[in-house]
Amino acid sequence: MISVLDFISEYKVLFPELLNFQPWEITKNIITVLEKKIADLNSDYKIENGIAIHKSAIVEQGVVLKAPIIISENCFVGANAYLRSGVYLAESVTVGPRCEIKSSFIFPNTTIAHLNFIGDCIIGNHVNFEAGAHTANHFNERTDKRISV
């Protein structure tokens, strides 16, 4: 069994309810997970229509946000970014201009430079995606579904 804990230390603290799930099960259920987490957020977040933005976060002009989304403290989301249906940005995440992020968890101090696509992913802490990178889920058509790292 692949454990996200082997790769992302903050995972246990931020998502203890998901410890027994495989990574592909986690992103598949991200909408339900985030809806529950938004309900538990405090007044440090402005919450409107399923979108929670920490008061210290900066979201530039032209950003499109589709719920549910959590943008944590000290995050930066650049102009014309597109965050859709299930995005969790942990503390101090930077999303550059014109990025698209879908159904993904992005952990602390990670930078997603301009013109990136991140889809159906769990991205660890202190990760740097340079400009124009694309990463997305892998559809596993094999009979033996086990994945090793």
Those residues with Cβ within 8 angstroms of residue 29's Cβ, 6 or more apart along the chain or in another chain: 21
Whole-Å CA distances, 102 to 19, 45, 89, 109, 135: 21, 21, 11, 19, 11
List 114, 126, 134, 138, catalytic entry: 114
What pLDDT was estimated at residue 4?
A: 79
- The share of the chain scoring above pLDDT 70, in percent, equals 93
Q: What is the pLDDT of residues 89-109, one digit of tens each?
A: 999 999 999 999 999 999 999
Q: Where are the domains of the chain?
A: 4-135
Domain 4-135: CATH class, spelled out: mainly beta
pTM over 0.75? The answer is: yes
Q: Judge whether 54 counts as a catalytic residue.
A: no
